[in-house]
Structure 1
């Protein structure tokens, strides 16, 4: 079987199966690297620089046609993704020449920035904590998690948004990077993280920040959809398994309520597992006939998320062990 583990000596291949668990441990114990040393922050700086040159300003004369804007944006995305893949591959190839314990530790340290479960978990709990102080405090805390306008949200809507963010980012920030790490190693996880960051910064359907992203962000949005398609459904399955096996028959129907082909799956699974309604005002409602979430539901969502994380890490390690045989 030819995989990214094929070039590793046998002791390496077996020990590398613990890398996902090691990365998760580092995530919990050490947290996020500083922005100066965070690879995702480096990706973000490039995307911000390129985006300013690719997305036309709203209200200014258009220099390039829509087709050219799309083409240049796609080329910029592909060039950067290729560079990310190559750098990660070179580092991984060098690491695999080192003693097994050092290779596992190094890959765990480099995989960690591609994961962000501890921060997500704590930020969602912080939203609930802020809501106990006041609605205004809850809105301020939620604004750290989501890009939507929070100014008019009720307490129930703040809670809905926080639980939705937990479910959606359980895929983007953990399951999907682990999925691509298991298949392609560190380069796979790094390219997914680049694609997800590009979608967050470029993947808008219209105007944002005074620029028109309709065509400049289309490639980034579609690339993220493709790379996240399978992991999103795996995430929904994990939530369903650890959340009590509820609502399997309704999952696909509810997931299709959202505009995104992927984010609806983990969010719908979480809504069904909790037995609550989740939604975005004026856009969609998941499990619409259920009750609104309460404070205890935020804690339950975090518990379901944590159990899903443990299961996904065990599965990723099992896949790596199987591929090494």
Structure 2
């Protein structure tokens, strides 16, 4: 096995372990720094234009990806340095521990009946308007966010790191962050954020479906049934308006034996998300099960990513 391939695989494993043990860097998080720079650039170049938005996204994501390409080139004959940079990049872009922590905290608040605090906490997971949501709707919102972000914050960066190394890791996170910043269909970003949203859809097409497949395979380890998860994914995955989010959410619904989907409100606009699954509405206990399933799927994605990196 070439040392470069081994260094990439070992870096992915080490970075995943660092995220699992330590979570996100507490100070000067590079992703937060990227967001700050990208927000400043948006203020300077915003226009109600798809072309202007495409240029903005291309400059932001291209600059970060270019740094990743440079890191790969510099470490081409330095496997130890390649391993170290890959490990750091993986740790920085993953969000598995933070996602699990938010899910557990939401479950704790809901179990304690602290609905105002839970509504406020939901903003840590998604941009949904939580005003007036009851415990069942908050449980659904959090469970759907756990499912979607298992793909976005764990499966996708690992797979991109496996096939494209450091540029794949940092480039994917840049695109995903831009989508979170300007990709929502608010009046300000309907045109300007169009390209960022479509780019995020594109880079997640394969990872989202891989995440759904891994969810179905992992279902028995979370007390579910692989066959039910598979059938629910194949039947309901396309009911969601997003080409990717519904894939993993449907698989989670089948794996946990619950029903997800419904009407959500974002930035004052109601959006119908379809019905995913045949079970009962999720409860706080199901949110804890979703966190466990998310962690299992993340570990499975790591195994796949390491194998792909070795074979690349």
What is the TM-score when the length of structure 1 is the normalising length?
0.86
Tell me, in whole angstroms, the C-alpha distance in 2 between the residues paired with 1:277 and 1:84. 39
Matches within 5 A, 1:112-151: 112-133=91-112, 134-151=114-131
Tell me, in whole angstroms, the C-alpha distance in 2 between the residues paired with 1:74 and 1:204. 15
Matches within 5 A, 1:249-268: 249-268=231-250
Alignment of 1:321 with 2:301, yes or no, is: no
Match of 1:229 among 186, 193, 205: 205
1:50–1:106: structure 2 CA closer, same or farther, 3 Å change rule?
closer
Q: Which residue of 1 aligns with 2:222?
A: none
1:278 touches 1:286 (CA, 8 Å); kept in 2?
Answer: yes
Alignment of 1:48 with 2:71, yes or no, is: no
Q: Which residue of 1 aligns with 2:22?
A: 30
- Uncovered stretches (5+) of structure 1, i.e. residues with no partner: 1-8, 57-65
1:227–1:155: structure 2 CA closer, same or farther, 3 Å change rule?
same
Tell me, in whole angstroms, the C-alpha distance in 2 between the residues paired with 1:75 and 1:15. 34
Name the stretch that deviates more: 41-50 or 187-196: 41-50
Tell me, in whole angstroms, the C-alpha distance in 2 between the residues paired with 1:167 and 1:151. 22
In our comparison, the structure showing a higher alpha carbon Rg is 1
1:249–1:29: structure 2 CA closer, same or farther, 3 Å change rule?
closer
Residues matched between the structures, number:
298
Shift of 1:288: 5.5
Tell me, in whole angstroms, the C-alpha distance in 1 between the residues paired with 2:62 and 2:175. 11
- What are the superposed Cα offsets for residues 151-206 of structure 1, whole Å, 9 maximum, x if unpaired? 21110111111111111011110111111111111101111111111111111223
Tell me, in whole angstroms, the C-alpha distance in 2 between the residues paired with 1:288 and 1:304. 16
Shift of 1:29: 2.0
Shift of 1:300: 1.5
What is the TM-score when the length of structure 2 is the normalising length?
0.89
Name the stretch that deviates more: 120-129 or 21-30: 21-30
- Uncovered stretches (5+) of structure 2, i.e. residues with no partner: 220-224, 265-271
Alignment of 1:294 with 2:274, yes or no, is: no
* DSSP-derived class of the 1:143 partner: helix
CA RMSD of aligned residues (A): 1.9
Tell me, in whole angstroms, the C-alpha distance in 2 between the residues paired with 1:148 and 1:289. 23
1:78–1:155: structure 2 CA closer, same or farther, 3 Å change rule?
same
Shift of 1:238: 0.6
Q: Which residue of 2 aligns with 1:83?
A: 63
